[in-house]
């Protein structure tokens, strides 16, 4: 019985309104991410089941080959030819007239195409080696955005070219030698106006070092900065050292800005240490697969390396983000009345950085359903997480729009923070989770004039 009394007390203590809010936020986080993924997955699946082919050969062989792609897999189960059904919607045939793949793909509104070059059929009939051309337009480094149907189509082609060769030459398909391939694939990845003869999945994995560690640094930086400021303000408030400072012959603005500057400096230092540490770690891991700089050459060829100006843009965005974090944290810190509430007040920052952090790792925000996209764009930190991708892949309008939005938000937050700190509110404002009120309703008490 004694144990149960203890247990009851512990549970009651842990199940505070704050804990409930935390749970609700987590729920919302997952629902939002689920929504977002739902939308993007639909598109991915949709896109991945349509093969985009450009048939420059226009021979019977190539026509036959393409037809095999339209076979509905379930209809082949019986093994009888007459049962096989075709779905012509599975293949989209387009014409590529020039070498400007970017323009050509954009014109047809597709992100990838398989080109069957002239003479393909002739060569294949003779059993000679043939080549198909796999072209992918990459516009994002995120994981789900680079799934294309081409890989599946290529596999089908490899198998079909062989079996068609055997069938057309009256040979038994039993003689097909496994593993021997006569179809060569020439991969080309197009980014912006640049292209390289490499597959998009390789580019994607080369980028992953970058796309993995940049967001982590951003995330850590935001959380760290916020914690520093909320901690600094709340402990000063709790110990009343703040009142002492406010009564001293210094301006409130100088107190405020010294705090912000200190936090920003420490955060920046932290970021540098973090980046060095992380790149060291990655080097340690990648060291064993040293390719003599070949991968960096490819990225360079594709314009996927950060130039001085793009570093500047990234830094600018990061700086803006830190300022926003500091301003918001100043406001949150001013609301704290004890150590526990100070911890609770971290929650909004954590969630606002967690959502874009997780989303941008997997999806290209630009392809999300409009409502989800707007919600995600409304989160100021989203623009920081997508900044490097926007710069790399040339979505500069998205970058600048995000930048402008963040700037406006910063001005608003700073104004509010300064208003609070130069008025009575800094001493009279508290966020109280009134335990006496029914069902622990959240109550925001803003005293003052």
Ligand X SMILES: Nc1ncnc2c1ncn2[C@@H]1O[C@H](COP(=O)(O)OP(=O)(O)OP(=O)(O)O)[C@@H](O)[C@H]1O
* Interacting residue ranges for another protein, rule: CB under 8 A: 238-241, 243-251, 423-424, 427-428, 447-449
Query: Measured from the CB of residue 432, what is the shortest distance to another protein in angstroms?
Result: 14
Strand partners, 195: 190
Q: Which is nearer to another protein, 250 or 286 (CB)?
A: 250
Q: Which is nearer to another protein, 248 or 289 (CB)?
A: 248
The CA-atom distances, in angstroms, between 409 and each of 218, 248, 312, 446 are 18, 31, 21, 22
29 interface partner picked from another protein, ligand X, none, CB below 5 to 8 A per type:
none
CA distance 222 to 325: 6
Residue 447 interacting with ligand X (CB under 6 A): yes
Residue 30 interacting with ligand X (CB under 6 A): no
Residue 263 CA neighbour count, 13 Å, CB half: 28
Q: Which is nearer to ligand X, 311 or 447 (CB)?
A: 447
98 interface partner picked from another protein, ligand X, none, CB below 5 to 8 A per type:
none
172 interface partner picked from ligand X, another protein, none, CB below 5 to 8 A per type:
none
Q: Which is nearer to ligand X, 69 or 342 (CB)?
A: 342
Q: Which is nearer to another protein, 1 or 248 (CB)?
A: 248
CA distance 139 to 219: 23
CA distance 449 to 158: 77
Cα first-last separation, the chain: 51
Q: Which is nearer to another protein, 169 or 241 (CB)?
A: 241
Under DSSP, the state recorded for 329 is H
Q: Which is nearer to ligand X, 37 or 433 (CB)?
A: 433
Helices 308-335, 396-421: axis angle to 10 degrees equals: 30
275 interface partner picked from ligand X, another protein, none, CB below 5 to 8 A per type:
none
Q: Which is nearer to another protein, 73 or 249 (CB)?
A: 249
Spatial CA neighbour of 261 closest among 296, 234, 225: 225
Query: Measured from the CB of residue 231, what is the shortest distance to another protein in angstroms?
Result: 12
Residue 240 interacting with ligand X (CB under 6 A): no
Query: Measured from the CB of residue 440, what is the shortest distance to ligand X in angstroms?
Result: 21
- Per-residue binding string, ligand X, 398-437, x by CB under 6 A, is ------------------------------x---------
Query: Measured from the CB of residue 229, what is the shortest distance to ligand X in angstroms?
Result: 22
Query: Measured from the CB of residue 380, what is the shortest distance to another protein in angstroms?
Result: 32
The CA-atom distances, in angstroms, between 370 and each of 25, 106, 146, 273, 406 are 22, 21, 20, 38, 20
CA distance 68 to 53: 13
Query: Measured from the CB of residue 430, what is the shortest distance to another protein in angstroms?
Result: 12
Q: Which is nearer to ligand X, 101 or 433 (CB)?
A: 433
- Reduce the DSSP state of residue 292 to 3 states and report it: coil
3-state SS record for 81-116: HHHCCECHHHEEECCCCCCCHHHHHHHHCCCEEEEE
Q: Which two tokens stand for residue 377?
A: 């764009």
287 interface partner picked from ligand X, another protein, none, CB below 5 to 8 A per type:
none
241 interface partner picked from ligand X, another protein, none, CB below 5 to 8 A per type:
another protein
244 interface partner picked from another protein, ligand X, none, CB below 5 to 8 A per type:
another protein
Query: Measured from the CB of residue 252, what is the shortest distance to another protein in angstroms?
Result: 10
Q: Which is nearer to ligand X, 415 or 428 (CB)?
A: 428
Burial (CB < 10 A; 0-12, 13-18, 19+), residue 384, is buried
The CA-atom distances, in angstroms, between 266 and each of 145, 225, 237, 245, 328 are 36, 8, 21, 22, 17
288 interface partner picked from ligand X, another protein, none, CB below 5 to 8 A per type:
none
Say which residue the tokens 């203590």 belong to. Answer: 13
375 interface partner picked from another protein, ligand X, none, CB below 5 to 8 A per type:
none
83 interface partner picked from ligand X, another protein, none, CB below 5 to 8 A per type:
none
Quick check: 305 and 299 in contact, CB under 8 A? yes
Q: Which is nearer to ligand X, 97 or 434 (CB)?
A: 434
What is the DSSP annotation of 247-270? Answer: TSSS-HHHHHHHHHHHHHHHHHHH
Query: Measured from the CB of residue 236, what is the shortest distance to ligand X in angstroms?
Result: 16
Query: Measured from the CB of residue 427, what is the shortest distance to ligand X in angstroms?
Result: 7
Angle at alpha carbon of residue 23, lines to 22 and 25, rounded to 5°: 65
- Residue 212 is inside which H or E element, if any? helix 200-238
Query: Measured from the CB of residue 248, what is the shortest distance to another protein in angstroms?
Result: 5
Query: Measured from the CB of residue 148, what is the shortest distance to another protein in angstroms?
Result: 56
**Contacting residues toward ligand X, per CB under 6 A:** 428, 447
């Amino acid at each position: 019985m004694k144990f149960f009394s203890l247990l009851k007390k512990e549970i009651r203590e842990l199940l505070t309104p704050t804990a409930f809010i935390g749970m609700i936020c987590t729920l919302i986080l997952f629902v939002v991410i689920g929504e977002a993924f739902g939308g993007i997955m639909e598109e991915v699946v949709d896109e991945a089941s349509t093969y985009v082919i450009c048939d420059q050969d226009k021979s019977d062989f190539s026509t036959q080959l393409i037809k095999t792609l339209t076979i509905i897999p379930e209809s082949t189960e019986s093994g009888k030819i007459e049962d096989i059904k075709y779905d012509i919607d599975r293949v989209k045939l387009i014409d590529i007239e020039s070498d400007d793949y970017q323009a050509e793909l954009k014109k047809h509104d597709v992100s990838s195409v398989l080109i069957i070059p002239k003479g393909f059929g002739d060569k294949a009939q003779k059993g000679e080696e043939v080549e198909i051309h796999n072209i992918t337009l990459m516009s994002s480094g995120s994981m789900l955005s680079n799934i294309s149907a081409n890989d599946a189509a290529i596999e089908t082609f490899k198998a079909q070219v062989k079996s068609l060769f055997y069938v057309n030459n009256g040979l038994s398909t039993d003689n097909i030698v496994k593993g021997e391939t006569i179809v060569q694939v020439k991969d080309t990845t197009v980014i912006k106006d640049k292209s390289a003869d490499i597959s998009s999945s390789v580019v994607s994995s080369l980028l992953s070092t970058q796309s993995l560690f940049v967001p982590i640094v951003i995330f850590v930086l935001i959380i760290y900065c916020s914690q520093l400021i909320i901690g600094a303000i709340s402990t000063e408030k709790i110990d009343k050292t703040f009142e002492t400072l406010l009564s001293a012959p210094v301006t409130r603005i100088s107190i405020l800005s010294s705090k912000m500057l200190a936090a920003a400096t420490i955060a920046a230092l932290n970021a540098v240490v973090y980046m060095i540490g992380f790149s060291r770690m990655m080097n340690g891991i990648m060291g064993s697969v040293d390719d003599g700089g070949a991968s960096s050459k490819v990225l360079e060829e594709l314009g996927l390396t950060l130039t001085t100006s793009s570093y500047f843009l990234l830094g600018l965005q990061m700086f803006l983000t830190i300022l926003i974090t500091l301003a918001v944290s100043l406001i949150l810190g001013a609301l704290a009345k004890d150590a526990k509430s100070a911890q609770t007040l971290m929650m909004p920052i954590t969630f606002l950085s967690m959502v874009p952090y997780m989303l941008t790792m997997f999806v290209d925000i630009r392809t999300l359903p409009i409502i989800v996209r707007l919600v995600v764009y409304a989160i100021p930190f989203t623009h920081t997480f997508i900044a490097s991708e926007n710069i790399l892949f040339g979505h500069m309008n998205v970058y600048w729009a995000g930048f402008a939005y963040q700037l406006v938000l910063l001005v608003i937050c700073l104004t509010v923070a300064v208003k609070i700190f130069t008025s009575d509110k800094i001493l009279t404002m508290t966020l109280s989770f009134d335990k006496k009120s029914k069902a622990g309703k959240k109550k925001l008490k803003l005293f003052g004039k």
